[in-house]
């Protein structure tokens, strides 16, 4: 039996409404995607929801006490609390450039955590 | 050329003006660094339209800060602009120089927007500590590293509030509720999914805060359901224990300076009335970004800022020909406002133009966006849905130039087919 489900794609701010048809829990059709990344999102969202994580880590000697960071790709949603806890223990020292690797291969996923901006020394 | 404000709007204008040949472009910014409000918006989702990349807010800002340095834009940081005269004399102040006076050939406003707090003033009850705007909390948590509370209620379903609900939860706080007085979400749908649903934070529509309880610190808020005239319904009160109330009740363009110059403001947008080149009602003054109207995406701020910067550079170089005839744009069925408010039909001879609008009410089915000139349809497009939190754009093709020369008024409506 075909089951219908409506999702909001969160991959980009367009926030397309995806009308998904499921057969036995598998995606058989998607409608409404503004681009092809919406198809991948629908597949993942049904089986293994993933999100990009953005947070901050401590930075020493910088013009601000915190450095904003982001993952290079979406990570499994269920493991986000674990990743946040791990990043709480990470600290760096200024200066830092946007794109510098702050933590490599987190959760053994091949995904890195990068600096989201430059921070100069104080 | 002087640009007031070094956020994405002002920076885009400054860079575009340099690229258009303006010799001396100065950005005056009251903060200690460039980048504007995006420095505290650490989440991603910026840049897909303007740069073809998905970046966090600070990285997006960094891109334009670097561009400004590369193109030779000059900056004056930690400096607050106090007053500007219609003759474009600028009075500003900083701790190093005291009050300074500058004279500009053209001025671009890029002061951004501020958060609405008015809703809060109407909430009865005590005035304990622990009431913040969502943006203030965002600054505290993301830049200063300080948690403003442990147990939150958020009033308003604006994007900053929802984004903070997620951020605070990740930082170990509890977000009890997001309350929205309207019967629909005011921010982006995607934020409802990834910031509230992902973390099982309840969103309650058609409810507001009736009272704040607590003496020193917030101890609880009392929420209440509202009817379709927004009046509280007796008997629906709920007391929610919490230590902090965040307000995310909308943004409003920051136009104290523009108002004092005597620039005409649109009561619907709270920003200057602009033409297709982002020129305001006073010659030589242009507006870039959220100072014009609150854009849903910073990418549109950048693109609009570039238009303003190019126009200002043309003005300084004497390349601006005064418009002979201008059409007024106005809001029709289910449209709250349309920007730009003025359109010179001759501008279409140089390329397509865009009208941007926001709807009043969400429609979760196919709608037709129709543009009429003096009552006659000239353009339309179909949208699969429209939401007040998401802007709608319609293009006017260059071919319309001829037929619009004799028209007076353009009206945009959003209709169910
Ligand atoms: C708290 C908050 C959070 C937001 N979050 C998002 C988001 O997540 N995503 C999104 O797309 N948009 C967000 N926005 C909207 C955001 O304003 C725009 O996307 C973008 O930053 C607009 O750029 P701007 O250059 O117009 O304004 P801003 O970035 O606000 O820049 C304006 C600049 O002008 C300076 N300024 C103002 N007055 C003066 C003066 N008198 N003298 C000197 N300098 C002055 C300010 O210091 C500031 O740096 C948010 C807005 C706020 C208020
Ligand atoms: S389907 Fe494509 S355009 Fe639509 S929200 Fe997803 S990524 Fe964005």
Task: Find the CATH number of the domain harbouring B82.
Answer: 3.50.50.60
Q: Does residue B251 have its Cβ closer than 6 Å to ligand 1?
A: yes
Backbone torsion region of residue B49, taken as left when φ is above 0, otherwise alpha when ψ lies between -120 and 50, otherwise beta: alpha
- Among A10, A3, A49, which residue's Cα sits nearest to residue A27? A3
Instruction: Tell me the residue ranges of DSSP E strands in A35-120.
Output: 50-51, 54-60, 66-71, 75-76, 91-93, 101-106, 111-115
- A79 interfaces chain B, CB cutoff of 8 Å: no
- Residue B224's pLDDT band, with cuts at 50, 70 and 90, is very high
- Mutate which of A20, A34, A40 to test ligand 2's pocket (most atoms within 8 Å of Cβ)? A34
Please provide residue B85's backbone torsions phi and psi, each rounded to the nearest 5 degrees. -95, 160
Looking at the DSSP bridge assignments, the partners of residue B240 are B221
A111/B48: higher pLDDT: A111
- One domain for residues B254 and B106: yes
* B92: pLDDT strictly greater than 80: yes
Task: Give the CA diameter of chain A.
Answer: 63
> Which residues of chain A neighbour B190 with C-beta distances below 8 Å?
8-10, 13, 15
Q: Is B301 helix (H, G, I), strand (E, B) or coil?
A: helix
Check residue B120 and give its pLDDT: 60
Interchain pair A117, B59: CB under 8 A: yes
User: Per residue, what are the HEC states of A57-72?
Assistant: EEEECECCCEEEEEEC
C-alpha B223: how far from chain center: 28
d(CA B170, CA A113): 16
Domain closes at, from B320, B339, B372: B320
* B118: pLDDT strictly greater than 80: no
Residue in A10, A54, A64 nearest the CB of B143: A64
Instruction: Tell me the residue ranges of DSSP E strands in B161-306.
Output: 174-180, 203-205, 207-213, 220-225, 238-241, 244-247, 251-253, 285-287
Domain closes at, from B269, B288, B320: B320
The predicted-structure confidence for B66-83, as pLDDT tens digits, reads as follows: 999 999 999 999 999 999
The predicted-structure confidence for B225-270, as pLDDT tens digits, reads as follows: 999 999 999 999 999 999 999 999 889 999 999 999 999 999 999 9
- A91 interfaces chain B, CB cutoff of 8 Å: no
- One domain for residues B259 and B242: no
The predicted-structure confidence for B333-349, as pLDDT tens digits, reads as follows: 999 999 999 999 999 99
Residue B163 tokens read as 């984004």
| DSSP 8-class letter at B320 | P
Which residues neighbour A20 within 8 Å (Cβ) at sequence distance 6 or greater?
A: A4, A5, A6, A7, A27, A29, A30, A31, A42, A46
d(CA A113, CA A17): 29
The average pLDDT across B147-170 equals: 96
Interchain pair A13, B188: CB under 8 A: yes
- B58 interfaces chain A, CB cutoff of 8 Å: yes
Instruction: Decide: pTM greater than 0.90.
Output: yes
The one-digit pLDDT tens for each residue of chain A (122 residues) are 889 999 999 988 788 899 999 998 889 999 999 899 999 999 999 999 999 999 999 999 999 999 999 999 999 999 999 999 999 999 999 999 999 999 999 999 999 999 999 999 99
Check residue B322 and give its pLDDT: 81
Q: Does residue B326 have its Cβ closer than 6 Å to ligand 1?
A: no
- One domain for residues B10 and B85: yes
- A70 interfaces chain B, CB cutoff of 8 Å: yes
Q: Does residue A14 have its Cβ closer than 6 Å to ligand 2?
A: yes
Check residue B63 and give its pLDDT: 96
d(CA B83, CA B25): 19
Task: Give the CA diameter of chain B.
Answer: 67
- One domain for residues B269 and B168: no
- Cis amide prior to B377 (ω within 30 degrees): no
- One domain for residues B301 and B378: no
Concatenated DSSP letters of B70-99: HTT-EEE-S-EEEEE-TT-EEEEEETTTEE
- Residue B119's pLDDT band, with cuts at 50, 70 and 90, is low
Strand B251-253 relative to strand B113-115, pairing: antiparallel
- One domain for residues B254 and B105: yes
Domain closes at, from B206, B225, B249: B249
End-to-end CA distance of chain A: give it in Å, rounded: 63
Proportion of chain B in helix, strand, coil states, percent, rounded to 5: 25, 30, 40
The average pLDDT across B186-197 equals: 92
ipTM (interface pTM): 0.92
Q: Could you tell me the CA-to-CA distances from B28 to A91, B32, B35 in Å, in that order?
A: 33, 11, 12
Interchain pair A65, B144: CB under 8 A: yes
Q: Could you tell me the CA-to-CA distances from A42 to B222, B268, B289, B293, B383 in Å, in that order?
A: 39, 38, 34, 34, 21
Chain B residue closest in CA terms to A118:
B62
* B276: pLDDT strictly greater than 90: yes
Residue in A7, A54, A77 nearest the CB of B43: A54
Sequence length of chain B is 417
- One domain for residues B261 and B244: no
* B126: pLDDT strictly greater than 80: no
Strand B285-287 relative to strand B107-109, pairing: parallel
> Which residues of chain B neighbour A13 with C-beta distances below 8 Å?
45, 48, 188, 190, 296-297
**Nearest atom in ligand 2 to B190's CA:** 5
Centroid of ligand 2 to alpha carbon of A108 (angstroms): 27
Residue recorded with tokens 């449209």: B335
Question: What distance in Å separates residue A61's CA from the closest CA in chain B?
Answer: 14
* Residue B378's CATH number: 2.60.40
- Among B77, B170, B78, B59, which residue's Cα sits nearest to residue A96? B59
d(CA B226, CA B221): 16
Domain around B124 = 117-249
- One domain for residues B294 and B230: no
- Mutate which of B27, B49, B51, B111 to test ligand 1's pocket (most atoms within 8 Å of Cβ)? B111
Check residue B121 and give its pLDDT: 65
- One domain for residues B229 and B134: yes
> Which residues of chain B neighbour A54 with C-beta distances below 8 Å?
42-44, 56
- One domain for residues B146 and B186: yes
> Which residues of chain A neighbour B45 with C-beta distances below 8 Å?
12-13
Helix (H) or strand (E) holding B151: strand B151-155
User: Which of A42-46, B37-41, B115-119, B169-173 has the lowest average pLDDT?
Assistant: B115-119
Q: For chain B, how many structural domains are there in total?
A: 3
- Residue B125's pLDDT band, with cuts at 50, 70 and 90, is confident
- One domain for residues B177 and B96: no
Check residue A12 and give its pLDDT: 83
The average pLDDT across B342-365 equals: 94
- Residue B127's pLDDT band, with cuts at 50, 70 and 90, is confident
Q: Is B417 helix (H, G, I), strand (E, B) or coil?
A: coil
Determine contact, residues B240/B177, Cβ cutoff 8 Å.
Answer: yes
- One domain for residues B237 and B162: yes
Q: Give the CA angle between residues B327, B331, B335 to the nearest 5°.
A: 150
Q: Give the CA angle between residues B281, B282, B288 to the nearest 5°.
A: 75
Check residue B296 and give its pLDDT: 86
Which residue's CA is the closest to the ligand 2 atom numbered 3? Answer: A34
Arithmetic mean of pLDDT over chain B: 95
Check residue B389 and give its pLDDT: 83
Strand B174-180 relative to strand B203-205, pairing: parallel
> Which residues of chain B neighbour A81 with C-beta distances below 8 Å?
170
């Amino acid at each position: 039996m075909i089951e219908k489900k409506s999702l909001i794609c969160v991959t980009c701010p367009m926030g397309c409404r995806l009308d998904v048809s499921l057969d036995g829990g598998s995606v058989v059709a998607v409608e409404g995607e503004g681009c092809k990344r919406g198809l991948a999102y629908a597949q993942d969202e049904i089986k293994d929801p993933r999100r990009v994580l953005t947070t901050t880590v401590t930075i020493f000697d910088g013009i601000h006490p915190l450095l904003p960071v982001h993952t290079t790709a979406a990570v499994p949603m269920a493991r986000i609390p674990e990743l946040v806890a791990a990043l709480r223990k990470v600290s760096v020292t200024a200066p830092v450039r946007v794109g510098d690797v702050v933590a490599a291969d987190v959760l053994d996923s091949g995904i890195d955590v990068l600096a989201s901006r430059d921070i100069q020394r104080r | 050329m002087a640009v007031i404000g070094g956020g994405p709007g002002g920076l885009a204008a400054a860079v575009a003006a340099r690229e258009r040949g303006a010799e001396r472009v100065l950005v005056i910014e009251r903060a200690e660094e460039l980048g504007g409000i995006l420095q505290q918006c650490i989440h991603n989702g910026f840049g897909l339209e303007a740069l073809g990349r998905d970046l966090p807010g600070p990285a997006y800002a960094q891109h334009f800060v670097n561009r400004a340095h590369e193109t030779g834009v000059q900056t004056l940081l930690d400096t607050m602009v106090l007053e500007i005269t219609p003759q474009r004399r600028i009075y500003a102040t900083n701790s190093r120089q005291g009050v300074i006076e500058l004279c500009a050939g053209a001025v671009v406003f890029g002061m951004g927007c501020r958060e609405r707090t008015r809703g809060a003033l109407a909430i009865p009850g005590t005035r304990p500590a622990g009431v913040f705007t969502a943006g203030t909390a965002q600054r505290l948590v993301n830049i200063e590293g300080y948690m403003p509370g442990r147990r939150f209620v958020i009033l308003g379903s604006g994007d900053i509030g929802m984004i903070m609900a997620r951020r605070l939860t990740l930082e170990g706080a509890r977000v009890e509720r997001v309350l929205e007085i309207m019967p629909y979400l005011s921010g982006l749908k995607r934020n409802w999914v990834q910031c509230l649903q992902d973390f099982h934070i309840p969103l309650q529509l058609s409810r507001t805060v009736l009272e704040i309880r607590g003496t020193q610190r917030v101890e609880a808020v009392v929420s209440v359901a509202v009817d379709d005239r927004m009046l509280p319904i007796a008997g629906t009160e709920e007391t929610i224990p919490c230590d902090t109330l965040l307000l995310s009740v909308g943004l409003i363009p920051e136009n104290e300076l523009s108002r004092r110059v005597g620039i005409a403001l649109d009561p619907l947008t709270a920003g200057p009335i602009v033409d297709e080149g982002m020129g305001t009602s006073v010659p030589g003054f242009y507006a870039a970004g959220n100072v014009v109207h609150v854009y849903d995406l910073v990418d549109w701020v950048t693109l609009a800022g570039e238009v303003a910067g190019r126009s200002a550079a043309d003005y300084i170089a004497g390349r601006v020909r005064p418009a002979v005839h201008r059409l007024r744009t106005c809001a029709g069925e289910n449209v709250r406002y349309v920007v730009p408010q003025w359109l010179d039909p001759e501008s279409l001879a140089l390329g397509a133009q865009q009208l941007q609008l926001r709807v009043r009410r969400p429609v979760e089915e196919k709608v037709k966006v129709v543009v009429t000139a003096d009552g006659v349809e000239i353009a339309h497009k179909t949208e699969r849905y429209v939401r007040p939190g998401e802007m709608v754009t319609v293009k006017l093709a260059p071919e319309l130039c001829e037929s619009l020369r004799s028209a007076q008024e353009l009206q945009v409506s959003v209709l169910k087919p």
